[in-house]
Structure 1
Amino acid sequence: MGQRPNDLTPHASPQHYLGAEMRAWRTQRGLSLGKLSESILFNTSYMARVERGGQAASADLVQAYDDALGASGSLVRLHTSILQGISLEALPKRDVANREPHVANSDVALAGESGLQAPSEEGMSIPVRSDDGRIIFVSLSRRALIGALGAGAAIAAAPDLSAAAKAAPRSDLIASGADPIELLQATRKVLIDNDNLFGPHRVIPTVQQQLAAIKELRADRRGTDRRKLLHLQTQYSELCGWLYQDLGDFRAAQHWMQEALAASSMAGDEELTTYILARRSQLAGDMHDPIEAVDIAEAAEDRATPKSRLAAVAATYGAHGHALRQDHVMAQRAYEHARELHAAMDADPNSPWGVWLDAAYIDLQRAHSLSALGDHRGAAGGFRDAITRLPAGYHRDRGVYLGREAVSLARAGEPEQAATVGLQALSIARETGSDRIARELAQLDSTLDQWRTVPGVADFKDALTEAVLRQA
């Protein structure tokens, strides 16, 4: 018997309302998440989080739902309305033709109005304002709320991007008097800094605006300038792919990585193309596609200049592919190979690609692989050692690795130490709004359930509850 779907809470926020509408269309068409996923090529976990309201839907996902389910644009229009800030009260109440009433139009997921319930392992109740102005209580799962922590914190914490990173259509770039190519290069650095500090939510729209400006500029440029623009288009597309990868929207990430690969080929930059291939191997690893991760990494390493940093980057991502295949021996050999390449490489100060690769980064990736191989104690030790060597500027990444260390400690049977490290990761999650940290915290929260009465674990769960309630 299939698992009963989680109750939805459409009145909790416009994001929850959209998720409820998306599920209503899917169930009306008689499709499971798995079946729809096969059709639209999105990750089922991501789709489920969106339907529950635990993660914001990307425009690509909404469009895919609308097309596959024959929604005639209604889901896209609803998503657009939400992005424009239209309130719940103004949103349409029925979209699916001749369907049965669903949770978006009923109180099936609403808790009683007697008071705020204490958090539970199944979920918690929080007060929200209904369409008619009443205060009601809705039931939200802990996992959905934790998943929403990153999105809410990012919106609350991120300031406006600096003037250099605001939308820059072609005419504005030219009218500014500055060299548009230099301005676009500087803007990319600002966007990367904002992503490191606050996560991808505030950055993606501006990145896509810059991409549109680059394509406009290409229309009347020739020769060297045009190649420079194609080079920039590759860099911006790769950045966009990374931002979506960080959000867990792997289909969108694949799209932008393919765009980056095409632009790098047109630019004729072999080194940049090699870097994009290595990044595609990393993406395949995040998508738990070990064969693709290994094969693309080997192709990237074959293309890389001997003794270059990119060869070591590609070998590192390929090693994780072997771990995903549960091949302990090949994973160990591959990491030894990556270390050898790193030790023997001729550092090229003029190459901007993979400059973050150092011994600590390789060790962090190996710790991640040890976790995939089930060596949780070894993974925890690897994360701890590598985190102490992480550069100070990698604030959000430190939170991700702290979260992974905490999960590994919990799985190794060290709940109090896991909770202590988890609190450190939670602090960074609050500051940065990182979805990657939020996903690690959700895993930790679930893994620590069996030790919920341990004082340190109880403190972590209380702090996590406070954080997600603040974002709700």
Structure 2
Amino acid sequence: MSESFGELLRAHRVAAGLSMGQLAKLIHYSKGYLSKIENDLKPPTPTVARLCDGVLDVGGLLVEAATRGPLPGDVRGLGRRQVLVAGTMLGVGAFTGGARTVPDEQVIVGMRTSFEQLRGIGLHASPHVVLDPLHALQQTVHGLARENSGPVGDRLLQLAARIAEYTGWMCQEAGDEQGALWWTRHASELSRAAGDPDIASYAFVREAGLALYRQDAAATINLAQQAQWIGRAGSRVLALAARREAQGHALAGDRTAAERAFGRAADQMESAVDGPYPVLGSTAPDPLELARGWALSDLGLNTEAAELLERQLALVPATSRRTLARFRVRQSLALALSGEVDESCRALAAALDDAAHVDSATVRTDLRQLARTLGRWHNHGAVREIYPDLRRQLSHR
């Protein structure tokens, strides 16, 4: 199989009955840019490859083609699953050692339990505490998946994909955006190889979250919308994608579009059923309403935002320190923006201990915005009292 990515793309586009302009519109890129890729004048990015693969419904062939390059040995004759599982594009080290027996159910459950334990630690500790163990566990599970075919191999691949996705989130929390993108895309490719469409779509939700923290409303909306129409994700992933889209609309100031997206998210979440693998995204009791509180603040409705967040935070368990830190800081910001300075400082005081424990780069982004807002009342007694603790938190890294 010697065809280039551009040749394959052209063949599948023509077979689908689409003009280059029509395909460009469907993936939200320009016709000129797509023409350069199809004529092999530009290499495809992983995102473009995934988008074209999903729109043309070619089962990962274009994703595979995009991975080709200066690889050790000749892998061009390998199938999609072999290329992805081998980890050639993703840079995962080989699982060394002699031949291993097929892991039984107890082994697989044990590895999943290890992952769940690390996720539990990640709820209330610095991401740096769990990143190295996550790397080691993901490599072990991925290595076993490479050595086992059939249902066992696919189950291991799905678990490896879940671990990779969570590793990407911890990288984001540690302030490593490039690492977050790398691990998220790694997870997407593993899930495609295992026939699990959820993470392939959820990768766009994660990237939309990065755009949200950059205050890029258009990219947040676009990526979240792509997550909803590419592939065949389950209801929970579609709900989380619609939630992120709603946050993008709120950031852009469009309340009507935000409410529509939140409505779709609620409908999808109602029909969501937990599968055999750890759930994706927030484990908060009601992640949609917490996000709605955040969105109300972005829409300038800060009194409503603070009241909603107060109600929802009361439902979050004390062990979920990362969630508590993030949304208590958001509540404090909403209160400050609505002029409730004393209440803002009280909410901030409750958030700082959790923020110190979870050591979150994204929470510090919100704390910096909060510091600028409270700085308008620098002579206020409550602000003077809390500001030294706030400065210490911001100077932590």
Q: TM-score, normalised by structure 2?
A: 0.66
State the secondary structure of the residue aligned to 2:258: helix
C-alpha displacement of 1:256: 1.2
Q: 2:248, 2:160 → 1: CA distance?
A: 28
C-alpha displacement of 1:369: 1.8
Q: 2:233, 2:146 → 1: CA distance?
A: 37
Given the alignment of the two structures, is residue 408 of structure 1 paired with residue 334 of structure 2, yes or no? yes
Q: 2:322, 2:284 → 1: CA distance?
A: 18
Partner of 2:375: 449
Partner of 1:235: 162
Residues 33-72 of structure 1 correspond to what in structure 2 (within 5 A)? none
Q: 1:429, 1:388 → 2: CA distance?
A: 17
Given the alignment of the two structures, is residue 316 of structure 1 paired with residue 228 of structure 2, yes or no? no
Q: 1:433, 1:209 → 2: CA distance?
A: 22
Partner of 2:257: 330
Residues 213-292 of structure 1 correspond to what in structure 2 (within 5 A)? 213-292=140-219
Paired letter, 1:402: R
Paired letter, 1:370: L
Given that residues 240 and 281 in structure 2 are in contact (C-alpha distance below 8 angstroms), is that contact kept between their aligned partners in structure 1?
no
C-alpha displacement of 1:170: 6.0
Change (3 A) 1:202 1:180: same
Change (3 A) 1:466 1:308: closer
Given that residues 121 and 130 in structure 2 are in contact (C-alpha distance below 8 angstroms), is that contact kept between their aligned partners in structure 1?
yes
State the secondary structure of the residue aligned to 2:223: helix
C-alpha displacement of 1:385: 2.1
Deviation string 1:209-247 (CA, Å, 9 cap, x unpaired) is 223333433443322332223212211210111012223
C-alpha displacement of 1:403: 0.8
Residues 23-34 of structure 1 correspond to what in structure 2 (within 5 A)? none
Change (3 A) 1:334 1:467: closer
Change (3 A) 1:268 1:436: same
Q: 1:173, 1:395 → 2: CA distance?
A: 42
Given the alignment of the two structures, is residue 378 of structure 1 paired with residue 304 of structure 2, yes or no? yes
Given that residues 425 and 437 in structure 1 are in contact (C-alpha distance below 8 angstroms), is that contact kept between their aligned partners in structure 2?
no
Given that residues 118 and 134 in structure 2 are in contact (C-alpha distance below 8 angstroms), is that contact kept between their aligned partners in structure 1?
yes
State the secondary structure of the residue aligned to 2:141: helix
Partner of 2:114: 187
Match of 1:437 among 360, 363, 377: 363
Given that residues 240 and 253 in structure 1 are in contact (C-alpha distance below 8 angstroms), is that contact kept between their aligned partners in structure 2?
yes
Q: 2:234, 2:146 → 1: CA distance?
A: 38
C-alpha displacement of 1:381: 2.2
Paired letter, 2:376: Q
Percent identity of paired positions between Structure 1 and Structure 2? 25
Change (3 A) 1:227 1:362: same
Q: 2:305, 2:98 → 1: CA distance?
A: 50
Q: 1:395, 1:173 → 2: CA distance?
A: 42
State the secondary structure of the residue aligned to 2:124: helix
Q: 1:441, 1:197 → 2: CA distance?
A: 18
Change (3 A) 1:172 1:361: farther
Partner of 1:367: 293
Given the alignment of the two structures, is residue 387 of structure 1 paired with residue 313 of structure 2, yes or no? yes
State the secondary structure of the residue aligned to 2:342: helix
Partner of 1:106: none
State the secondary structure of the residue aligned to 1:211: helix
Change (3 A) 1:256 1:367: same
What runs of 5+ residues in structure 1 fail to find an aligned partner? 1-168
Q: 1:220, 1:173 → 2: CA distance?
A: 8
Paired letter, 1:441: L
Q: 1:466, 1:309 → 2: CA distance?
A: 38
Q: 1:457, 1:302 → 2: CA distance?
A: 46
State the secondary structure of the residue aligned to 2:129: coil
C-alpha displacement of 1:405: 0.9
Partner of 1:427: 353
What runs of 5+ residues in structure 2 fail to find an aligned partner? 1-94
Partner of 1:113: none
Paired letter, 1:341: Q
Given that residues 361 and 386 in structure 1 are in contact (C-alpha distance below 8 angstroms), is that contact kept between their aligned partners in structure 2?
no
C-alpha displacement of 1:417: 1.2
Paired letter, 2:263: E
Change (3 A) 1:306 1:171: closer
Partner of 2:131: 204
Change (3 A) 1:193 1:208: same
Given the alignment of the two structures, is residue 340 of structure 1 paired with residue 267 of structure 2, yes or no? yes
Q: 1:339, 1:461 → 2: CA distance?
A: 38
Given the alignment of the two structures, is residue 297 of structure 1 paired with residue 224 of structure 2, yes or no? yes
Question: Superposition RMSD on alpha carbons, in Å?
Answer: 3.3
Change (3 A) 1:416 1:430: same
Q: 1:172, 1:200 → 2: CA distance?
A: 33
Change (3 A) 1:439 1:276: closer
Structure having greater relative contact order (Cα 8 Å, sep ≥ 6): 1
Given that residues 313 and 357 in structure 1 are in contact (C-alpha distance below 8 angstroms), is that contact kept between their aligned partners in structure 2?
no
